């Protein structure tokens, strides 16, 4: 491998051997060394004779019986061990050869060691499991045991009630299958039924019923539903109360809008607010103040002085001082609709959107939505989108240049396309590989040599 085939391949990366085997590369191939069971067991032998002969035994610096045994397991020359704590200084003695005598005194523990050396797997890649871990004690019946690698699995019949070892329990309620939220009733060894507490369901009463999902409109006026065991509660907005937040506050209680100034209060329970609305012949000059409408602002009188009244105005003429008859100038304030019956929506899109940058416009209630062409944004589609700073479209190191309503990519060598997404076929540009095969890479090419 390499640009000039100068490096050797490691056939063991990644490891092709199974079941924890060791991979041994040999340059062109590999072999697998399968795992071997070298576990050891110890047998009590009270006649193991104490000796200080270094040809037969050696002392080890271990101060507890488990440490002494673990040290013997790791020591291939150890065939037995003796641990004593009768004296002020405990000792750990490893035997190279067995030597026996009279029975040991109290406080002296002697064990002989027996180890196995059994191959666990075979096959070219150690894929064949040689050891059957299923024994008569694993599952209730041997036919139910499935041998796996270093473990077993009890596979029970599809019909019937069984425990984890495929044993048929005499009392199906013995293991408390209904948990803490149900009461179990067994019908022999055939079946059982769980009677669930309020708020829980499922075969074993292990599923909490989400009352808020079952009743999404249970809390009114923006109240938040909180699921409880067997029911739910509503967390109400400020001022609201009741089980379902159904008791509304008087939102107009603190509003200064009064009928004496021609206004009246309207409660908005969706926004949890109160608004002052003025009556006929009154204008809203602040959030809660209404003033009489000045009909003379339009200057209806010619060659005279206008005096505004509720239903008429006086035209003081210099010649005959006549009074106009009942000028019924009624005004209803509406910023959203018009027409005699208020059924005509005002087109708010006239002159709003930038024509050359807009695909379409949608007239809304007291608003206009401009549908911009690709590359433009903003309320009126007047802003050019800098695609280089937002989506960064150029790939593989390409340099992005923003243009009006679009962008261009200055691609690195080896890449083409709108977003530099296409790889240039460098092998097709007369790239010479000699006796190898050419493969395209990113910004480069690769020669795979022939052995």
Using DSSP bridges, classify how beta strands 36-37 and 231-235 pair: parallel, antiparallel or unpaired: unpaired
> How high does pLDDT run on average in the chain?
82
What pLDDT is stored for residue 367 in this prediction?
86
pLDDT at 221: 86
| pLDDT at position 444 over 70 | yes
Regarding predicted confidence, which is higher, 161 or 412?
A: 412
Residue 330: is its pLDDT beyond 80?
no
Q: Which residue has the higher pLDDT, 297 or 29?
A: 29
Kindly indicate the confidence band of residue 125, based on its pLDDT and cuts at 50, 70 and 90. Answer: very high
pLDDT of residue 113: 94
CB-based contact 234:225 (threshold 8 Å):
yes
**What is the structure's pLDDT at 99?**
92
Round to whole Å and give the CA distance between 58 and 80. 11
Looking at the predicted structure, is the pLDDT value of residue 72 above 90? yes
* Average pLDDT for 121-133: 91
At residue 259, the pLDDT reads 65
Q: Supply the DSSP string of 76-106, one letter for each residue.
A: TT-SEEEEE-SSSS-EEEEESS--B-SPPPT
Q: Which residues contact 294 (CB under 8 A, 6 or more apart)?
A: 283, 308
Mean pLDDT of 380-387: 88
The predicted pLDDT at position 78 comes to 95
What is the C-alpha to C-alpha distance for residues 240 and 248, in angstroms, rounded to an integer?
A: 5
Q: What is the pLDDT of residue 451?
A: 62
* Mean pLDDT, residues 161-171: 79
Helices (H), 269-408: 387-390
**Percentage, residues of the chain above pLDDT 90:** 29
Rounded to an integer, the average pLDDT of 360-378 is 88
Note the pLDDT of residue 315: 47
Q: What is the pLDDT of residue 235?
A: 94
Nearby residues of 214 by Cβ (< 8 Å), 6 or more positions away: none
Asked if the model's pLDDT at residue 240 lies above 60, the reply is yes
Indicate whether 42 pLDDT > 70: yes
Q: Looking at the predicted structure, is the pLDDT value of residue 373 above 70?
A: yes
Higher-scoring residue by pLDDT: 60, 340: 60
The answer on pLDDT for 135 being more than 80 is yes
Q: Which residues contact 88 (CB under 8 A, 6 or more apart)?
A: none
Contacts of 404 (CB under 8 A, 6+ apart): 375, 384
- C-alpha–C-alpha distance, residues 447 and 362, integer Å: 60
Per-residue confidence (pLDDT) for residue 443, from 0 to 100: 67
State residue 386's pLDDT score: 86
DSSP of 380-400: TS-EE--HHHHT----TTPEE
CB 360 within 8 A of CB 376: no
**Band of the pLDDT at 244, cuts 50, 70, 90?**
very high
> Which range, 115-124, 137-146, 293-302, 343-352, has the best average confidence (pLDDT)?
115-124
State the number of CA atoms in the 13 A half-sphere of 152 facing the CB: 22
Which of 78, 106, 76 has the alpha carbon at shortest distance from 92? 78
User: For residue 449, which of 439, 432, 435, 429 has the smallest C-alpha distance?
Assistant: 435
Q: Read off the pLDDT band of 242 (50, 70, 90).
A: very high
Q: How far apart are CA 217 and CA 219, in angstroms?
A: 6
| Residue 323, pLDDT above cutoff 50 | no
Quote the CA–CA distance of 215 and 366 in Å, as a whole number.
35
Instruction: Report pLDDT for 334.
Output: 38
pLDDT band at 183 (very low <50, low <70, confident <90, very high): very high
In the predicted structure, residue 339 carries a pLDDT above the cut 70 = no
Tell the burial category of 274 from Cβ atoms under 10 Å away from its Cβ (0-12, 13-18, 19+): buried
Domains belonging to the chain, first-starting first, are: 40-115 (3.50.4), 179-208 (2.10.25), 259-292 (no CATH), 355-387 (2.10.25), 392-451 (2.10.25.10)
């Amino acid at each position: 491998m390499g640009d000039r085939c100068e490096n050797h391949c490691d056939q063991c990366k990644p490891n092709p051997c199974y079941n924890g085997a060791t991979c041994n590369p040999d340059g062109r191939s590999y072999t697998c060394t399968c795992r071997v069971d070298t576990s050891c067991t110890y047998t009590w032998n009270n006649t193991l004779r104490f000796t200080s002969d270094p040809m037969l035994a050696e002392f080890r610096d271990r101060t507890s019986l488990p440490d002494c045994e673990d040290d013997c397991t790791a020591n291939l020359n150890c065939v037995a061990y003796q641990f004593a704590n009768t004296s002020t200084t405990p000792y750990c003695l490893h035997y190279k050869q067995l030597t026996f005598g009279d029975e040991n005194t109290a406080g002296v523990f002697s064990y002989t060691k027996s180890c196995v050396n059994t191959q666990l797997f075979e096959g070219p890649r150690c894929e064949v499991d040689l050891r059957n871990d299923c024994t008569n004690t694993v599952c209730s019946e041997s036919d139910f045991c499935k041998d796996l690698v270093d473990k077993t699995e009890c596979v029970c019949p599809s019909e019937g009630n069984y425990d984890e070892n495929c044993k048929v329990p005499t009392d199906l309620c013995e293991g408390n299958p209904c948990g803490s939220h149900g009461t179990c009733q067994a019908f022999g060894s055939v079946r059982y039924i769980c009677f669930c507490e309020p708020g829980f369901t499922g075969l074993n009463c292990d599923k909490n019923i989400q009352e808020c999902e079952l009743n999404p409109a249970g809390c009114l006026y923006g109240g938040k539903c909180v699921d409880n065991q067997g029911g739910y509660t509503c967390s109400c907005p400020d001022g609201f109360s009741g089980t379902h937040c159904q008791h509304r506050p008087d939102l107009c209680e603190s509003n200064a809008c009064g009928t004496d100034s021609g206004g009246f209060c309207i409660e908005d329970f969706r926004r949890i607010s109160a608004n002052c609305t003025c009556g006929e012949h009154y204008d809203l000059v602040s959030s809660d103040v209404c003033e009489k409408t000045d009909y003379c602002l339009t200057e209806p009188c010619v060659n005279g002085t206008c005096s505004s009244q509720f239903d008429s105005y006086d035209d003081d003429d210099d010649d005959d001082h006549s009074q106009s008859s009942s000028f019924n100038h009624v005004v209803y304030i509406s910023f959203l609709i018009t027409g005699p019956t208020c059924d005509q929506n005002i087109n708010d899109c006239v002159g709003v959107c930038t024509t050359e940058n807009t695909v379409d416009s949608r007239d809304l209630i007291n608003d206009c939505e401009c549908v911009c062409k690709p590359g433009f944004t903003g309320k009126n589609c007047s802003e050019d989108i800098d695609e280089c700073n937002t989506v960064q479209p150029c790939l593989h190191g390409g340099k992005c240049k923003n243009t009006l309503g679009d962008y261009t990519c200055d691609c690195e060598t080896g890449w083409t396309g709108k977003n530099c997404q296409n790889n240039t076929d460098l092998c097709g540009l007369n790239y010479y590989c000699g006796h190898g095969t050419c493969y395209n890479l990113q910004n480069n090419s690769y020669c795979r040599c022939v052995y």
